[in-house]
Amino acid sequence: MAAAVFTANNGKLTLQDLDTRDLRYDVTKDEAWLPALAEGLRDLSRSNSKFRGKATFILPGYQLLIKPIKVPHVEAAKQSQIVAFEAQNNIPFPLSEAVWGSQVVADDGVETEVVLAAQKAEVANRFCGLMSTIGFQPISLQPGSLLDYNAYKFVYGGEQEDTLVVNIGARSTNLTFISPAGLFIRNVTLGGNSFTQMVADVVGKSFAEAEDVKLAFYSGQTSFDADHPAVAPLQLKAQDFMKRLSQQITQSIIAYRRASNRAAPQRVLLTGRGALLAGIPEFLSESQKVSVDYFNPSGALSLGAAVDKSVIEQYYYQVSEMVGEASRLVKPDAMGINLLPPLIRERLAFQKQKPFLALAGVCLALAPLPMLYKYQQEAAVVKYQKDAVDGRTSQLKSLSNDIRQASDDATATRAKIAQYQGLMTSRFNWIIFFSDLQNILVGVKDVWLDNLAVQRQAAHAPATNGMMSTPAAAPAPGAPTDPNAAPVASTTTYKLNIKGRLLLRDTSSDSPASAKSFQQAEASKRIHDIEDGFAKIPFVKQVDQSSEKFDFITDPRMVGFEFTVDIDPNKPL
């Protein structure tokens, strides 16, 4: 674990302080990492007061999900929706349970390359809560995977050479492919702890004891005789570790070229504490056929008074990610993804607003004073104006009553005029009716009417659930009638009783009985033709079939008939 304090001035970064702690814990238990980190930070904050308060935390790659994806190039407003959809498909747990973010790393106008970073919200909240108990206030949780790229751009600027930065940590190794077109990130689960476990298998000791042996033997602090039985196996394990690392790099280069269709890196830069294993640069240079060197970002930094040059030379391999995060102070386009839980972000935003809210509260409390003074001055004027308005209001009320009365009178007059107009309009209804009736009689032939009587009867509205429904108003007598008009409710029924006779002419028949039957059938047909004709008159609603009466007895040649039709109450005669 390393901690640093940076300041920015005129586009330059100054390293004001730097400190490190070794974390010793059982690496077979994932949950042991956080308490060990907390203990290291607690010790750090006790020894140096600068390492307290607001802080940005850089999380190792193995603690996060890092996923490069490609999405179609769209406008910025729609890009976030597409990225959210892809995140839902690529993050192996519900987004509601995750803290996630994205960073655009390249865009060729057709496709946009995006890096997704995610962490479970429960883990992020527990981490922030524990840091708060130590005395830190997390303001940002950054994935370390992007920060090596920031550090490289800060140190080398616009250099265009394709480069692979290999950051070998304790639990994992972060591979950052950098090219003029963008970057590609891959995190592999191979680190210093994997090498320690190899050593433990050789020397037959616990992991913690094997870690001490590894640091002592490979750093040259202790040595064995050339014929010592442990020398050859330890050297062999170092070769095995470097082979596995080279294989991971080769596989990652293949994946990088397939995903991005870009050239292979022309050089490799090593950083991270695991990169200090002797022989790694030479081994990778031979196996990858590229130049290999160490990445030292300290040359681009100014050193504060509290930092000795020998310290930065001793720990330069641990500061690349911190330099990458600090470069965001001077590089507006530097990349980063803040995985701070939303609730904590909102709390931080509110804390920033507190001074402004307090000032606004004071201003709000003092704001009524000038208004109160002005109100007292204007109160007398308002009272005078109110009295004048009240006097004018009483006059207007009187005028309003006169207008209302005149309006009521005008409404009554319009109703009477409408009745008279309806009477004038409906005077042609009987003429139209008799014209249609004449056409019926002419069509049937040998028929005449003896009596045509109009029957009007008020209808009674049925009761519903014990309550009498209120009937709709009937049309005014003589109201105008339009045969095509929409029907309106009425409470008066109109019936028309028709009595008449029709003549049956001579028909030849073999027997009187058959002649009589034929005459009755002929009479019934002609009477039904008359009824059908009446049913087609626009003023007739229907023919009351139950009211039919026929007289074949009084005079067989002169058949009497009678029936009733219902007049449409909405088209009265």
Domain ranges of the chain: 1-156+300-349, 160-295, 429-567
pLDDT at position 13: 92
d(CA 353, CA 223) in angstroms, rounded, equals: 60
Question: Which residues have CB under 8 Å from 353's CB, separation 6+?
Answer: none
Greatest CA separation found in the chain?
152
pLDDT at position 478: 44
pLDDT at position 511: 58
Question: Which residues have CB under 8 Å from 14's CB, separation 6+?
Answer: 6, 7, 8, 301, 302, 303, 304
pLDDT at position 285: 93
pLDDT at position 529: 87
pLDDT at position 138: 92
pLDDT at position 378: 82
Tell me, letter by letter, the H, E, C secondary structure of 6-58: EEEECCEEEEEEEEECCCCCCCCCHHHHHHHHHHHHHHHHHHCCCCCEEEEEE
What fold is seen in the domain 1-156+300-349? Nucleotidyltransferase; domain 5 (3.30.420)
pLDDT tens, position by position, for the chain (573 residues)?
Answer: 899 999 999 889 999 999 998 888 888 787 888 999 999 999 999 998 889 899 999 998 888 888 888 899 888 888 888 998 988 888 888 888 899 999 998 888 888 999 999 999 999 999 999 999 998 999 999 998 889 999 999 998 877 789 999 999 988 999 999 988 888 999 999 999 899 888 888 888 888 888 888 888 887 777 666 666 777 888 898 899 999 999 999 999 999 998 888 889 999 999 998 998 889 999 999 999 999 999 999 888 999 888 888 888 888 888 999 999 999 999 888 999 999 998 888 887 777 777 777 787 877 877 777 877 788 778 878 888 888 888 888 888 888 898 999 999 999 888 888 777 766 766 778 888 888 888 888 888 888 898 988 887 765 544 444 333 334 444 444 444 454 444 444 456 778 899 998 888 765 555 566 767 777 888 888 888 888 888 888 888 888 878 788 887 777 778 888 889 888 877 777
pLDDT at position 11: 84
pLDDT at position 398: 87
d(CA 101, CA 80) in angstroms, rounded, equals: 10
Q: Around Cβ 404, how many Cβ atoms within 10 Å?
A: 10
- The token pair at 553 is 């007895």
d(CA 170, CA 195) in angstroms, rounded, equals: 9
pTM above 0.85, yes or no: no
Query: Residues 207, 197: contact at Cβ < 8 Å?
Result: yes
CA 457 to chain CA mean position, Å:
66
What fold is seen in the domain 160-295? Nucleotidyltransferase; domain 5 (3.30.420)
pLDDT at position 523: 84
The strand pair at 302-303 and 136-143 is best described as unpaired
> What letter would DSSP give residue 297?
G
Domains 1-156+300-349 and 160-295 share a fold: yes
pLDDT at position 474: 42
pLDDT at position 226: 60
